[in-house]
Structure formats: structure tokens, C-alpha cells
A and B are shown apart, each in its own frame.
Chain A
Amino acid sequence: MTMAMLWQVLHILLIVALAPLVTGWVRLVKSRLNGRCGPSPLQPYRDLFRLLQKESVVAHSASWVFRAAPYITFAAIWLAACAVPTFTLNMALVPAADLIAVVALLGLARFWTALAGMDVGTSFGGLGSSREMLIASLAEPAMLMVTFSLSLLSGSTSPARIMMFVLSGNIGLSVSLGLALVALIMVALAETGRIPIDNPATHLELTMVHEAMLLEYSGRHLAMMDMAAMVRLLLFLALIGGVFLPFGIGLPGGGPAQAAVGLAAFLARTFALASLMAVFETSIAKMRVFRYADFLGGALLLGLLATIFHYVSEAV
């Protein structure tokens, strides 16, 4: 039990320590693919440190919502990340963790970010919030559908149980799992605000969604919001990597050696997935806002198909 507590604490710290590096890595790979030299992958750490040193400027018209939102957003996403195992399944919070709770916490963070975007009353913030809610209303059903098909397959909504089930090997190469993977990737692109849904590197007023809501933030508030976005990216990479490629992850009852192997495997698959994402983002263009419904509706339908095919293979 004390071991599980220790791993849980290490997991929580690892998430925060690693998230900026993963984001920096994605930026670096994207720069290299574009033929640019690119900043060091450590640059997000420096940016966060710089922002934390600076004073926070708050608009006159801002209410307490504006000041509270960064902390609530970050806390909700961090808590959600605690529930998704990274290097070991032997963690204290694993029995309480639940994918539906993860979706709810992400929804809470999104809600507060959108509120903060509207709070100051600038037009860009409101526009960003309205678009964010449009994406959320499409992405959340798709995410829940994926959750349902995964839990139908494995008999549990706990991420750790799903990983254990995939690891046990009696699932084979299931079509449902493949469809759920594609659907989850599409949802993850929308939820983390990547191309083709949103461009994390733009401040062009016509296209930005997530950045539009953060325009009024500065100093430590902005650092919190940026950190929340980085942790969310790592959360989805850990979830996709953990559910579909859980090889090497430490099992309950395993010792430190197993956790070390799990850590190496986790780092390998996270950076591999991050590189793949950078390649994907470089190779396609951003989508028109009116096409979001088709894209995320497609993810929802794939989740539905995963469920249907689950019943087919049950019936056979």
C-alpha cells in the first residue's frame, strides 16, 4: 500500500515535470519538419519560469472568475491526469479512477476556460469561448462513446483495468479496438486543440480557438493556463499509448524494477506518439469551422461502429 502511495505521488510529479518537455518536443519536431531549426525542447520550461517571474496584469472589468479560472482549470486537468496510469498500474488512486470522471474533469476545465474567456468582455475571448463550446459539444459525446466501447470490451471504465485487459492478450486484434483507437485519436486532436481543429501556434484572429480565450492572461495566470494545456496533451498521449500499447507497464504487485521498465516504455511510446502527432500536424491543413461537425461526428460514428462490431464478435 505504501508502495502504491509512493508510485502515485511519483506519477503526479512525473506528469507535471514531463508535460512541458513533451510539448517542447512536439514543437521541435514540427519545426524540423518545416525546415526550421526550432527551439530547444526545454524552451517551455524557460517560458513557464519567465511567466512565473512576471507580474500578472488583470483587466479592470475582470471578476473573481477570471482570477480563479487558471487554478481551477489546471487543478481539474492535473487531477484527471492522476487517474490515467503512466508507468505502473500499481497506484493508490487506481481503484477510484474512472474514464467517465476523466471526461467530466476535462469538461470542468473547459467550462472554466470558456467562462474566463468571456469574463473580461473582449470580443476575441467571447468568440474563442463560443467556438470552444461548439467543439466541446461535439467532442464530448464522441469521447464518451469511445469510453463506452472500451468499457464494453474490457468490462470496466477504469483506465487501469482496460490497460490490464489489453495486456492480458485474450483480446487479439479486435476490430472494435482499432475503431476505438481511430476515434480516440480524432477526439484527442480536438480536445487538445491541435491541427486540424485548432492551431496551438497561431494568434490569427480568424483561426484561433484556445489562444483566443487566453488573450487577456499574463504572468502566473498565463503560466497556469499554458501548463494546463501541456498536461492535457500528455494526458491524452498517456491514455492512447496506455490503452492501445500498454506493453511494459508495471503491474500491481510489481517492484521498483518493473516500474523502471514501465517508465522507459512510457517515455518511449509517449515521445514516439508525440513525433507521430507532429508529422500528422505538419502534413495536413487546418479545417474550416463548419467542418468540425463532420470531423467529430465521424469520431462519434466510429465509436458507435466499435460498439456494433463488439456485438458482432460477441455473437460469433
Chain B
Amino acid sequence: MLSHYSYDIAHLIGATVLMAGFALLYQRRLQAVLNTFAFQALALAAAAGWQAHVQNAPHLWVTAGIALVFKAILVPFALHWLVKELGIHRAVETALSIGWTMIVGVALVALSIMLVLPVTANAAALTRESLALAMSVVLLGLLMMITRHNAVTQVVGFMALENGLILAAVSAKGMPLVVEISVAFSVLVAMTLFGIFFFRIRERFDSLDLQYLETHRGDR
């Protein structure tokens, strides 16, 4: 009975992370996007904490702590600061209308389920469902990066994608801590680089809309 509930709760937290991924696509205000991202990271920390409890794996508590401190607090705080500092337009500009983005998102969830379930036929039930959820979160992050013009929302998409990777990592048993820590730190490094790039892009183009960059691509 206990294992049944532990499985259900893990599944439920994973679905919360996925729902936050959808909420990210739904938001129209930059501030709301950042707050939703913080919520997703919070749900991710809860997922890692629950897995640490269920698998009796103390190193997952470290993962949960990293997710909580860095991704739920530091990164959203830094992005809020950046938005304020750069005086970015507060509305989210989309390449595809929000309704269509959501529909594509659901199609991606269906795709990842159809992909993951046959491939992992021999794995434990918990791992399979969590993998399907994590893969959906990754694809939604990618979708967000594709359908948003603004550099800040693209970075949030990247971070959401990385949340999906962590979700996959915590649900698979025996993932070494080194991998997770290195992923977490690479995200921090990426965050710093993005921050510097924001300033550089804005200096040159007076905007964070990445469409301006496209005219400078070599293959046109």
C-alpha cells in the first residue's frame, strides 16, 4: 500500500512540473513567466525530495537543495533583476499564438509518451512514467525556446528544459551525484553567460528581440 502511494505521489509531483511547463507557455507577462518558472523549480525540488525519501538516497536531498536554492530562488531573482535593469518590455512576444502553442504542447506530450513507453518496456513502472513526464517537460522547454522572440523567455525555456533533465535524473535509480552537481553548475555558468550576453545584445541592437540577430546569420 505504501509503495502504491509513493508511486502515486511521485507521479503527481511529476505532473505538477509538467503543468508548470504548460503554464509557462500560457503566460503573457514576463514577470508571470519568471514566477511560474520559480514554481516549476519548486515542484522539481519537491520531486527530488520525495524520491530521496522513497529511495532512501541521501544524495538526492542535495539535488533537491540545489533545485530549491539555485533554480527556485537565485535564477528567478537574477532574471527579475535583469528584466528590471534592462528595462525590457513586459509583454511576451510570441512567434506562434498561445492557443496553437498549447496544442503543439499537448501533441509533444503525446509524442513523448508514445516514444518512452515502448522503449522502456522492461523498466520499473515508476521510472517509465516519470521518464515520459520528464521527456514532455524537456520538449515543452524546447517549444518555448522556439516560439518566443525575447531572449529572457528563451533562457527560461532553456532552464525549463534543464528542469526536465533533472526530473528524469532523480527518477532513475543510481544516478551519480557528480552528474547532477555538474549539470546544476553548468546551468549557473550558462545563466551568467546569458546575463552578460543580454547586456551585449542590447548594447548592439537596443532590444532583446532575437529576430534582429537573424539578419546577421551567414547562410542567407
Contact = CB atoms under 8 A, between A and B. Distances in A.
Interface residues of B, number: 25
Q: Which range holds the interface residue count of chain A?
A: 20 to 34
Contacts of B9: 173
Interface of B: 4-5, 8-9, 11-12, 14-15, 19, 22, 26, 98-99, 102-103, 105-106, 109-110, 113, 117, 125, 128-129, 132
B117 A315 contact: yes
Contact of A308 (B4, B102, B109): B109
Contacts of B102: 294, 297-298, 301
B99 A316 contact: no
Interface in A172-195: 172-175, 178-179, 182
A312 B8 contact: no
B132 to A, nearest CB: 6
A308 B110 contact: yes
Given A312-B117, A312-B132, A297 B99 contact: yes
A309 interface: yes
Contacts of B5: 172-173
A168 interface: no
Interface of A: 172-175, 178-179, 182, 293-294, 297-298, 301, 304-305, 308-309, 311-313, 315-316
A293 B125 CA distance: 36
Contacts of B98: 294
A129 B5 CA distance: 47
A175 B15 contact: yes
Nearest to B9: A173
Contact of A178 (B4, B12, B113, B129): B12
A294 B15 contact: no
B22 to A, nearest CB: 8
Contacts of A311: 113
A293 B15 contact: no
B103 A312 contact: no
Nearest to A176: B15
A313 B99 CA distance: 27
Chain A CB within 10 Å, residue with most, of B11, B12, B19, B103:
B11
A24 B113 CA distance: 46
A178 B8 contact: no
A203 B113 CA distance: 47
Contacts of B106: 301, 304-305, 308
B26 A172 contact: no
Contacts of B26: 294, 298
A93 to B, nearest CB: 34
Given A173-B8, A294-B98, A316-B128, A308 B113 contact: yes
**What are the 6 closest A-B residue pairs judged by CB atoms, nearest first?**
A173-B8, A175-B15, A172-B8, A316-B125, A301-B106, A297-B99
